[in-house]
Structure 1
Amino acid sequence: MRKWHIPSSKPEEIAVLLFPRFSNHCLANAVEPLRATNELGRRDLYRWRFVTVDGAPVSSSSGLPVLPDCRLSDHPGGDVLFVLPSYDVQRHATQPVLRALKAAARRFGAVAGMDTGSWLMAAAGLLDGHRATIHPNELTGFSEAFDMVEAEDSRFVMDRRMLTCGGAMTAFDLVLELIARAHGEAMRLEVASFFMFARSDPPKGPLVRSTGSKLVDGCVALMSAHLEEPLSVPQLAAGMGAHPKTLARAFHAHLGAGPQTVYRRLRLTAARRYAEQSGYSIAEIALRCGYQTPAAMTRAFGQEFGKPPSAFRQGG
C-alpha cells in the first residue's frame, strides 16, 4: 500500500560514485530531485557527496569537471550509493574497481546502478540472483554476460537492496520512487510537478511520473486542469467514466490517499507556488486555487504546510 505522507527524522545520506565520461544528464536527473525535495521540504531531507574510486577529479562526457569529496573507500557509508559510469563501462570493470564497489556496498543500505551502472554491479557479483535492468543499448550484451542476473527491459528495477535503471531519463523515475518511499506520494507528486512546471502557473496536464494507473493519472490531470473551479468527486469520477468508489479505491491503492486529499494538495501546492513566485495578493491566490475566501485558503494552507502563505513570499 502506498503512503501519502511519511514523516522523516533525519536526512538520508547519498554517495554518488562517478567515473570518467559520466553523463551530465544522468547526474542531474539523479541529484536534482533530491535538491528539489530539500527545497520543497524547507530543510535537508537529503545530503549527498561526490566520490571516485581513487579520489581523483573526473570529467563528464561533455567535459564538465567534478572534484570529488573523497575516495570511495574513505566514505563512511549511508543510505544509498549511486553508481554512475555511463560510457566506457566495460573498461571501468577492473579488479580494483570491482573490489572497491563490493566493499562499499556493505556500508550502504542500497546500491543504485544509474544508466550503465548495473554492469559494474553485476561484474562485482552484487546482482547475482537479482532482477536488474540497464541502458537499452547494453541490454542484450548485459543479459549474455551475466547469466546469474535476471535482465529486464524496464525503466527501473528495485530488487531488495539492489536498484537499477535504464538511462538518464529513468534515473529521474528511480529517484522519484526513492523519494516516495522515504517521504510519501505527496512529495513525489510535488517534486515531479516542480520540474515540469517550475514557474508560478500551476500544471494543466498530467505530471511527469505515472502512478501505474491510467485511472489515477487521468484523474490527477483532470484535477490539475480544474484548480480554479474544483470538481466534486462524483464529477471527477464521471469525467473518468468510473464509479466514485472505484476511483477512491484506485487512489488509495496507488497514492495512499483519497481523491479529496490529493486534490487539496494540488490546489495548495499551486497556492504555494503563487505565493513564492508571483505578486498576486492572498485574495487573488485564493480565487486561482478554488477557495471562496482568503481566510479559508489561509486556514487550509497552514494545516497543510505549517505556515501561512505570507511565510513563503520571497524574503518572508
Structure 2
Amino acid sequence: MEPYEFPGDGQYDVGFLLIPGFSQLAFSSALEPLRMANHLTDRRLYRWHLLSRDGEPVKASSDLAAGVDAGLASSPRLDLVLVCAGIEVQSHCDRDTLQWLRRQAGRRLPLGAVCTGGYVLAQAGLLDGYRCTLHWEHISSLHEALQFPQVTFCSQLFVLDRDRYTCSGGIAPLDMMLTLIARQQGLGLAEAIAEEFIHERIRGVGDRQRNPLRVRLGHSHPKLEEVATLMEANLQEPLTLDELASHADLSRRQLERLFQRYVDCPPLKYYMDLRLMRARQLLRQTHMPITDVAMACGFVSPPHFTKSYRDRFGHSPSRERERRRDREAAAQAASPPLTHSQADHSQ
C-alpha cells in the first residue's frame, strides 16, 4: 500500500519532537533536505517546528542543547510528526509524551521516527500491525526481549508503511526524506538535493542498514560477507568453524587465511566478538536476566560468559547492568514529569 501522500498545496508543516539524548546527525539528516528543497525551488514548500515535551531546550547525545519552538501543550498545526531519539530512549517514554502522540494518531496525522524514535512510537502502541525499523543496535534487543510482539521490525534503512515513516540512524534519514520529497515534488528535485549534499545515491527502502565487515574492509569480499552474515544469524547457537567453512564452500584452512588476511584475526575470535557485542546490547537495552543474556549469545556456562565479557570490556556483565541503572536514574532525574496543569493544556 502506498504511504500517505503529501498535500498538493506545497505547504507542509513538519514537527520534530526532540527526545532527550537524540542524535544530532540523524535529526539534521531529516531536516536539511527540507531546507534545501525550499532553497533550490525558491519557494516555502516546507516549514519545520522543533518541539519538546515542556517547551524547554533538549540536550542531544552530544550534550549540546537544542532550542525548540514549542512544547506539546502549544504545538502548532502539523502535517507530519517525526520523533527524534537516540541514547537511553527507554528512559524518556513518559506518559504525557505517549498520550500526545496517541492524540495525533487519533487525528489521522502521519507519524514517523528517526534513529531510536521508533521505540517511542511502539511504546505508545502506534506501530502495532505496522512494519517499521529503528537503529540496528536496538532491533536485536527487542526481538530477544519479546517486546512489542504486534510490531514487525525490519533491518532496512527506512520503512514507509501507510501513515508510519520510520528510519534508522546516521544519515539514513536523508534517504527517507529525499524519497518523500521525490513522491511529492518529483525525482528531479530530490536528485538535485542529493547532489548539493554530495550524496552519491538516494538509497531506497530495499537497502539494509549495515554490513559491518564491508565497512571494516573498505571493500566487498563476498565469501567473508557470507560467513559474517552466517555468524550474525547464529549467535544463540554458534556454528563450528567447519560448519561455517562448509556453508561458504571453503575449506577450514581457506577460511582461516581469509580472516587473517583481511580482518587480521582468526574467524572464531571475530565470532566471539560478535556474540559479546550482542550481549552488551542486551545488557544495556533490556531487563533480561544475565543468565538469559548469556544463553541468547551462545554461552552455556555463566562463568565462561563472565570471564569472556570481562576480558573483552574490562568489567563484568553485572557491572554493565549497574552502569545502565545509573544512567537511567540520571536521565530520569534530569527530566521531571509534566505537571497536571501542563498535561491538561495538551489535551
Taking structure 1 as the reference length, the TM-score comes to 0.59
- SS of the residue corresponding to residue 208 of structure 1 reads coil
- Is structure 2 residue 19 aligned with structure 1 residue 16? no
1:130 corresponds to which residue?
130
Query: Deviation at 1:12?
Result: 0.5
Distance 2:45 2:30 in 1: 15
Distance 2:93 2:7 in 1: 39
2:201 corresponds to which residue?
208
Identity %: 34
Distance 1:131 1:110 in 2: 14
2:93 corresponds to which residue?
93
- Alpha carbons of 1:210 and 1:89: their partners in 2 closer, same or farther (altered >3 Å)? closer
Query: Deviation at 1:62?
Result: 1.5
Q: 2:11 touches 2:44 (CA, 8 Å); kept in 1?
A: yes
Query: Deviation at 1:8?
Result: 5.1
- Is structure 2 residue 145 aligned with structure 1 residue 152? no
- Alpha carbons of 1:180 and 1:14: their partners in 2 closer, same or farther (altered >3 Å)? same
Q: 2:114 touches 2:167 (CA, 8 Å); kept in 1?
A: yes
1:77 corresponds to which residue?
77
Residue type at the aligned position of 1:100: W
- Is structure 2 residue 169 aligned with structure 1 residue 176? no
Deviations 1:131-165 (A, max 9, x none): 01110000012333110001111110011111111
- Alpha carbons of 1:212 and 1:20: their partners in 2 closer, same or farther (altered >3 Å)? closer
Q: 2:159 touches 2:205 (CA, 8 Å); kept in 1?
A: no
- Alpha carbons of 1:128 and 1:142: their partners in 2 closer, same or farther (altered >3 Å)? same
Deviations 1:269-308 (A, max 9, x none): xxxxxxxxxxxxxxxxxxxxxxxxxxxxxxxxxxxxxxxx
Deviations 1:105-148 (A, max 9, x none): 33463111110011000010100000011100000123331100
Deviations 1:6-48 (A, max 9, x none): 9953310000000212111111101111100000011111000
Deviations 1:75-124 (A, max 9, x none): 23322101011111101122222112212333463111110011000010
- SS of the residue corresponding to residue 82 of structure 1 reads strand
Name stretches of at least 5 consecutive residues in structure 1 with no aligned partner.
198-206, 214-316
Distance 1:91 1:105 in 2: 22
1:280 corresponds to which residue?
none
Residue type at the aligned position of 1:134: L
Cα RMSD of the aligned pairs, angstroms, is 2.4
- SS of the residue corresponding to residue 62 of structure 2 reads coil
Distance 2:106 2:138 in 1: 26
Query: Deviation at 1:180?
Result: 0.8
Shifted more, 174-183 versus 96-105: the winner is 96-105
- Alpha carbons of 1:7 and 1:78: their partners in 2 closer, same or farther (altered >3 Å)? closer
- Alpha carbons of 1:147 and 1:64: their partners in 2 closer, same or farther (altered >3 Å)? same
- Alpha carbons of 1:168 and 1:108: their partners in 2 closer, same or farther (altered >3 Å)? farther
Q: 1:18 touches 1:85 (CA, 8 Å); kept in 2?
A: yes
